[in-house]
Amino acid sequence: MATSDRPHAVLRYLESRKNLAGSAAGLAGLALTFTGLAGAYWPVVVAGLYGAAALLAPPDRPPVPPFPDPEEELGALRQNFTTLRTYLAEVDLPPAAAGRLTELNAVLEALLDERWVADVLKQDPEAVHVLSRGVRQDIPEAVDAFVRTRWWNRVAPGADPPERHLERQLGALHRKMTAIASAMRDAELRRQEAHTLFTEEDV
């Protein structure tokens, strides 16, 4: 593996800033040699100039990975939310949990509405992360755990009702999403207040 990578490493160095800078300095050393200034020690002068320039040259900066921008991430998240709702429609939930899930879905639908929230939401990576985790992990895991535990509870009754844990989980998720919605509202309010101050300047 190391042997196969060696030609690539050599090629990368030949194209690097250090080699280009060293080569330019080496050429300057050859120019000194041709003018007679380097004397009999011209190989040392050329090598010394190459080495000094290569050491002083800044290293090559690797390119930044092309991660998706926030708008692309939100678009993918909307598609995931549609998939999640299709899955949830197939699950038979008790009335209390179903009510909490309906409330949670309403908040998520509002937060993912590209007409109203997208411009503010994409400025908050942490909120996007919480939304993404909720849609892609927390909600499906909570519902799936309820379905599996309910089956075992029917086989071996006596444990805490699984719907109680599901209601608590959905309630906690609803509070998280509501907090994001409140933050979005406050951001829009601050934007409106700032515009009010701007329009009232010099009046």
**65 lies in a domain?**
no
Q: Are residues 44 and 105 in the same domain?
A: no
Range of 1-5, 21-25, 69-73 with top mean pLDDT: 69-73
In this predicted structure, the answer to whether residue 198 has a pLDDT above a threshold of 70 is yes
d(CA 121, CA 109): 13
Q: Are residues 86 and 113 in the same domain?
A: yes
Q: Which pLDDT belongs to residue 82?
A: 95
Q: Are residues 74 and 50 in the same domain?
A: no
| Global pTM value | 0.65
Q: Are residues 26 and 92 in the same domain?
A: no
In this predicted structure, the answer to whether residue 132 has a pLDDT above a threshold of 90 is yes
**143 lies in a domain?**
yes
In this predicted structure, the answer to whether residue 16 has a pLDDT above a threshold of 90 is no
**62 lies in a domain?**
no
In this predicted structure, the answer to whether residue 15 has a pLDDT above a threshold of 70 is no
**29 lies in a domain?**
yes
Q: Are residues 167 and 145 in the same domain?
A: yes
Q: Are residues 11 and 91 in the same domain?
A: no
**31 lies in a domain?**
yes
Supply the mean pLDDT for the chain: 80
Q: Are residues 193 and 134 in the same domain?
A: yes
Q: Where does residue 22 rank: exposed (0-12), middle (13-18), buried (19+ CB within 10 A)?
A: buried
Could you give the percent of the chain with pLDDT greater than 70? 67
**64 lies in a domain?**
no
Mean pLDDT of 181-201: 89
Q: Where a domain ends, among 56, 86, 101?
A: 56
Q: Are residues 77 and 136 in the same domain?
A: yes
Q: Are residues 139 and 173 in the same domain?
A: yes
Per the structure, the complete domain to which residue 190 belongs is given by 70-200
Q: Are residues 169 and 112 in the same domain?
A: yes
**Hey, what are 33's tokens?**
């040699």
Model pLDDT for residues 96-122, shown as the tens digit of each residue = 999 999 999 999 999 998 887 778 888
**129 lies in a domain?**
yes
- Helix boundaries (H) for the chain: 2-14, 17-34, 42-56, 70-89, 95-111, 118-121, 125-133, 139-155, 162-200
Q: Are residues 48 and 77 in the same domain?
A: no
Number of domains in the chain: 2
Q: Are residues 14 and 88 in the same domain?
A: no
Q: Which pLDDT belongs to residue 67?
A: 66
